[in-house]
Structure 1
Amino acid sequence: MATDTVAKPRTSARVHVQKFGTFLSGMIMPNIGAFIAWGIITALFIEKGWFPVAALGGFGTNDAGDPNVGLVGPMIIYLLPLLIGYTGGKMVYDVRGGVLGAIGTMGVIVGAGIPMFIGAMIMGPLGGWTMKKIDAIWDGKIRPGFEMLVNNFSAGIWGSLLAMLGFYGISPLVSAFSTGAGNVVQFLVSNGLLPLTSIFIEPAKVLFLNNAINHGVLTPLGVQQSLEQGKSILFLLEANPGPGLGILLAYMFFGRGIAKGSAPGAAIIHFFGGIHEIYFPYVLMRPLLILAAIAGGMTGVATLAVTNAGLVAPAAPGSIIAVLAQTSRDSYLGVILSVLLATTVSFLVASVILKTGKVSSEDELHEATAKMEGMKGKKSSVSSALVGGGGVAVMAGPIRNIVFACDAGMGSSAMGATVLRNKIKAAGFPDVKVTNSAIASLTDTYDVVITHQDLTERAKPLTSQALHYSVDNFMSSPRYDEVVELVQHSNTAGAQEAAPAAGAAAATEPATGGAHVAPAADADGGPAGILVAESVVLNGTATTRDQAIDEAGQLLLDRGAVDSGYLDAMHEREESVSTYMGSYLAIPHGTNAAKDHILKSAVSVIRYPQGIDWNGKEVKFVVGVAGINNEHLHILSSIAKVFTSKEQVAQLEAATTVEEVLDLFGKVNS
């Protein structure tokens, strides 16, 4: 049997950068709680804190006259880097990799004597990766009974070597880099150039590099600066909620349609919930709005620099609550002014752009979605193309696990999962598990994966067996309703046999996601010749649904494509789940169990000009389908493309010859 070879699409440079940034931030994000704990202890108990406690803050001397060690120093020098190193190693090689990553990190910590976050982000993955390669050398070659001995000693020996590598090799390099980076930051601050960083940071955020920038770069540098100076401006370069809030406020006053209506809710989630990703679609609708974000960001950074304000620890998520909680005791005025002025400038610039820009008469968010689907060429499945006519995708089995994935797994994904979970519960399916996850943590164990449209390309290779949906609005995306309908139809009785009825939805890659397109078979028994003139009837004689199924099935039988048992299976299939697809179309076919009754792939087309009542729906076109292997998926996909176009449906209704019908359905045979 011939196998089609599909060229692997080239991955864009943006996706590569996102993956690298996600990996870096992935080492920081799980440990944000530890950073916050350190920030709270620092803000409260250091000598200049709210409630100075020498034994906790690490200043003064104890009863023996020795300097107090406290919690602040050991946590920042040892605990946080070791957590990062362990997490990085675990990401590469599970717990065993995490242990080796922590051992290697200890070498750079002791070798440098300063907070070694960059060193930990190097030694953690390096330890996990090298241990994985070493274990592969004798995988399957260890004599029974000696596995534990070999595994423990190999880890111990290599760990000691890694620690020495970190001490002598990595720590001097990282120390030099940290010193250089600190000098660059100081130069920017001293010369008033730090606000210019917003020119790069704000656009990068909208491209979903926000967590990579904030936690992969700024957090390590900011923590070191905070340890030395008691606060750092770097924690607010990306996390300031002002620029995004200004854009959302502008939409509240000058937006249109759903964009205007959803902006207030988005603003609340963004400002108080700290989910900055929620305003990204509003910028993507009007790319010129990035200028508003940049202007607001520059204003906020300039205000911080002028007032010498900063945070003692990262604000994660970027909520105003988290920002104020981590604000240095002497910086509240500067931080609050930074947020207010950033919001004001962003609002003013965004308002001018929205008022002077071209206004669409249709809903802006939906228009943006449609434009994206058109550019990506994915509006080709039954689930999206016929959704307005009642067609709904159906999975081959019940849906149990749905995951909403985003860059970090704690921002937009958590909010989206909550919204979708509530919708699915309200629909009567509380047993369907809806979770959120970072894209880097995805495994191919989910039934449905939902991501932002800019992240779907990264999620698909990790979850190739799942149905993918892309959204552009985290609060009120119409895709959520499509997923609920998918669950409703897939988790009801007979759903296991329902997939062929909406095969195009499971066979093509829709605008909102879906399984991959089933490739057309070759000329030897493939789609070529599946639809022939003898199988097209312009004026059917049936007056009921069951008679129409018999008429369509008889055409398949007359061609020698099926035996009589398949006709019985077509009726059985219709009794379990309707094959009505919308747009006056029904596609009766047999159950999955009836595949042995199919002798070759074939399609029959019957037109009923007066219409037939099909379970309360009007049907004018009945397409009988019989497909071997996955060929029926390709057939249904091609038919769906025809019925996507109202013009082509009208041409089918007006056709006077079989040849006209064959011309319109030509893609079925191509």
Structure 2
Amino acid sequence: MTTTSTPTKPGGARVRVQRFGTFLSGMVMPNIAAFIAWGLITAFFIATGWMPNGILGGFGNADVIGWQGAATTLAQAEDGTTFPQYVGLVGPMITYLLPLLIANTGGRMIYGERGGVVGTIATMGVIVGSSIPMFIGAMIMGPLAAWLMKKVDSIWDGKIKAGFEMLVNNFSAGILGAILAVVAFFGIAPIITTLSSWLEAAVNWLVSLSLLPLVSIFVEPGKILFLNNAINHGVFTPLGVQQVEESGKSILFLIEANPGPGLGILLAYSFFGLGIARASAPGAIIIHFFGGIHEIYFPYVLMKPALLLAVIAGGMSGVATNVLFSSGLRAPASPGSIIAVLIQTANDSYLGVILSVLVATAVSFLVAAIILRASRKRDLAAGNAGDMSAAVAATEANKGKSSSVLGGLVNEGTTDTGSAGGTATTTLVKNIVFACDAGMGSSAMGASVLRNKIKKAGVDGITVTNQAIANLTGDADLVITHQDLTDRAREKSPNSQHVSVDNFMNSPKYDDVVEIVKRNNQGGTA
């Protein structure tokens, strides 16, 4: 399997933003289950929840409730008197558990378990030194402390006498962690608290002027280019969690996660698209809307860039609807499935949230339908079946020969052609890794598709896994990524072969990969 595409030189602003967003996503995504658990506990047990419970929710007079098995703290009534109030689960989880998990994950990404431990210790400083949830503080202190630990260890690497390694390692980590915790308490926490207050004030200003929908002008194109993680995990999630603590819900969790804009695009293709795009759109709707894998609609937009107007209009209308109804979610909806969105919806927000999805879908569909209809005659006159057919021709050109598989895809209209390129060769392939921003979602689905193809081909001894680009170790024989992420994957794993696709679910390159590993397994060459 060879390609004639020229690798793009890594670099540029987009790649740097993608890398930064991937790093933030790598800290948050592995801990989404904890966010969901906290969101469910919040939804059930706070004073405005489904099943209000003062003991678990952390509200109400402990003397009145009378359960002695729970920790309490002093709260102040409106008249100035104090009374013992249950701590509950909601407060400690958002204050300590979630930031510490993020810090530990960030530290591990930099320097393994040792980095995770030191990063967690240092993060306690910003947590205790601030009056707000320290998610931004955790994202800073976790990786920073791990990096400093790595540098400190390099000072005496290979110079410790045998038998003293454990003593030096434990004390150096403990001393550095203690110093960083104190520094974070007095120095970092006040800075991050001020920064968070500025960001919150900016969001409140946008809301007060009804300008929050304008954020979609940047978020929706950013999603298509895989640039959204930086602002989503770096700003929206920390501020959203803080808003939940204050008011029980946040609109910020729905700015990026609303499946409406993408659903509108896919519906428009289902009715007004051509060829493969039209045939594959209905199946993509299921994966996008119910599975929450938004990346699946990105190629449909990239085929006709004017559709960016549709997703922007859909995103803006969805945000405007939530602003109008003051609706929001209790926790991040990840993946962005309608199921996850409804589970995390606040009790008083179901009407607004459901309408925001419907309105975003309708607006996106109408704008996309106008664009597709306007170009339909021109596309038909050109004698092609849409841009996916052109992508098939481009793929065959890159491959250097015609392909019955690709031709069949165009004729049958059942599979995305992909837009593949990379550096794959005919060398031995035993360990295949699908890599994406978070190492979950779309890459997991792609790995499952290829795994099944290899199994049906009767090939044994091939490992197919999925992981985040940031976690690539360089030992994979073949790395498969979305075409917009291949440059970063090549930087992380330069000795691996690389294949780029534009759709993890259906790419003709998978058949080429199966052919390669099958011949290798038989002791031949491709």
The answer to whether the superposition gives a TM-score over 0.5 is yes
CA distance in 2, matches of 1:86, 1:22: 16
The corresponding residue for 1:24 is 24
Write the letter of the residue equivalent to 2:466. Answer: N
The corresponding residue for 1:428 is 458
The corresponding residue for 1:457 is 487
Q: Quick check: 1:213–1:238 contact (8 Å CA) kept in 2?
A: no
1:475 Cα shift? 2.4
1:386 to 375, 381, 401: 401
**CA, structure 1 residues 429+7, in 2 after alignment: closer, same or farther (shift >3 Å)?**
closer
- Structure 1 residue 316 corresponds to structure 2 residue 334: yes
Aligned residues: 481
Write the letter of the residue equivalent to 2:25. Answer: S
Write the letter of the residue equivalent to 1:472. Answer: D
* Deviation per residue, 1:471-501 (Å, 9 max, x gap): 1123222122222222222221x22xx2xxx
CA distance in 1, matches of 2:7, 2:431: 30
Secondary structure in 1 matching 2:88: coil
Write the letter of the residue equivalent to 1:437. Answer: Q
1:253 Cα shift? 0.5
1:214 Cα shift? 2.2
The corresponding residue for 2:441 is 411
TM-score computed with the length of structure 1 as normaliser:
0.69
Secondary structure in 2 matching 1:468: strand
**CA, structure 1 residues 487+361, in 2 after alignment: closer, same or farther (shift >3 Å)?**
farther
The corresponding residue for 1:344 is 362
CA distance in 1, matches of 2:371, 2:302: 13
The corresponding residue for 2:277 is 259
1:370 Cα shift? 5.6
CA distance in 1, matches of 2:458, 2:391: 29
Mean Cα deviation higher: 480-489 or 47-56: 480-489
> In terms of Rg, which structure is larger?
1
Q: Quick check: 2:434–2:443 contact (8 Å CA) kept in 1?
A: yes
Q: Give unpaired runs (5+ residues) of structure 1.
A: 1-5, 503-670
The corresponding residue for 1:584 is none
1:157 Cα shift? 0.9
1:171 Cα shift? 0.4
Q: Quick check: 1:402–1:434 contact (8 Å CA) kept in 2?
A: yes
* Deviation per residue, 1:601-627 (Å, 9 max, x gap): xxxxxxxxxxxxxxxxxxxxxxxxxxx
Write the letter of the residue equivalent to 1:402. Answer: I
**CA, structure 1 residues 294+394, in 2 after alignment: closer, same or farther (shift >3 Å)?**
closer
**CA, structure 1 residues 464+346, in 2 after alignment: closer, same or farther (shift >3 Å)?**
same
Write the letter of the residue equivalent to 1:364. Answer: G
Q: Quick check: 1:112–1:175 contact (8 Å CA) kept in 2?
A: yes
Write the letter of the residue equivalent to 1:443. Answer: T
Mean Cα deviation higher: 358-367 or 45-54: 358-367
Secondary structure in 2 matching 1:435: strand
The corresponding residue for 2:246 is 228
The corresponding residue for 1:400 is 430
Structural RMSD (CA): 2.0
**CA, structure 1 residues 58+372, in 2 after alignment: closer, same or farther (shift >3 Å)?**
farther
**CA, structure 1 residues 285+450, in 2 after alignment: closer, same or farther (shift >3 Å)?**
same
Q: Quick check: 1:394–1:490 contact (8 Å CA) kept in 2?
A: no
2:103 to 85, 101, 111: 85
Q: Percent identity?
A: 65
Q: Quick check: 2:8–2:487 contact (8 Å CA) kept in 1?
A: no
The corresponding residue for 1:143 is 161
1:417 Cα shift? 1.3
The corresponding residue for 2:478 is 448
CA distance in 1, matches of 2:229, 2:431: 26
2:257 to 216, 239, 249: 239
CA distance in 1, matches of 2:449, 2:164: 52
1:209 to 195, 218, 227: 227
CA distance in 1, matches of 2:338, 2:231: 19
* Deviation per residue, 1:541-581 (Å, 9 max, x gap): xxxxxxxxxxxxxxxxxxxxxxxxxxxxxxxxxxxxxxxxx
Write the letter of the residue equivalent to 1:258. Answer: I
The corresponding residue for 2:55 is 55
The corresponding residue for 2:79 is none
Q: Quick check: 1:262–1:476 contact (8 Å CA) kept in 2?
A: no
Structure 1 residue ranges, 4+ long, deviating more than 4 angstroms after superposition? 370-374
Q: Quick check: 1:32–1:316 contact (8 Å CA) kept in 2?
A: yes
CA distance in 2, matches of 1:7, 1:189: 44
CA distance in 1, matches of 2:503, 2:425: 24
TM-score computed with the length of structure 2 as normaliser:
0.88
1:361 to 363, 383, 402: 383
CA distance in 2, matches of 1:409, 1:348: 34
Q: Quick check: 1:214–1:239 contact (8 Å CA) kept in 2?
A: no
Q: Quick check: 1:394–1:486 contact (8 Å CA) kept in 2?
A: no
Secondary structure in 2 matching 1:249: helix
CA distance in 1, matches of 2:94, 2:221: 31
Q: Quick check: 1:369–1:472 contact (8 Å CA) kept in 2?
A: no
CA distance in 2, matches of 1:49, 1:108: 30
CA distance in 2, matches of 1:135, 1:372: 50
Q: Quick check: 1:23–1:440 contact (8 Å CA) kept in 2?
A: yes
The corresponding residue for 1:655 is none
Mean Cα deviation higher: 288-297 or 462-471: 462-471
1:409 Cα shift? 1.2
CA distance in 2, matches of 1:7, 1:448: 16
CA distance in 2, matches of 1:361, 1:470: 28
Q: Quick check: 1:101–1:127 contact (8 Å CA) kept in 2?
A: yes
Specify which structure has the bigger relative contact order, considering alpha-carbon pairs within 8 angstroms and separated by 6 or more residues.
2
Write the letter of the residue equivalent to 2:155. Answer: I
**CA, structure 1 residues 318+7, in 2 after alignment: closer, same or farther (shift >3 Å)?**
closer
CA distance in 1, matches of 2:285, 2:459: 30
**CA, structure 1 residues 132+436, in 2 after alignment: closer, same or farther (shift >3 Å)?**
same
Secondary structure in 1 matching 2:435: strand
- Structure 1 residue 165 corresponds to structure 2 residue 183: yes
CA distance in 1, matches of 2:106, 2:334: 19
* Deviation per residue, 1:242-292 (Å, 9 max, x gap): 000000000001111111111011111000000000000111100110000
The corresponding residue for 1:468 is 498
Q: Quick check: 2:102–2:138 contact (8 Å CA) kept in 1?
A: yes
Write the letter of the residue equivalent to 1:369. Answer: A
CA distance in 2, matches of 1:78, 1:373: 50
Q: Quick check: 2:129–2:190 contact (8 Å CA) kept in 1?
A: yes
The corresponding residue for 1:45 is 45
1:369 Cα shift? 3.0
**CA, structure 1 residues 32+44, in 2 after alignment: closer, same or farther (shift >3 Å)?**
same
**CA, structure 1 residues 150+200, in 2 after alignment: closer, same or farther (shift >3 Å)?**
same
1:61 Cα shift? 2.5
The corresponding residue for 1:540 is none
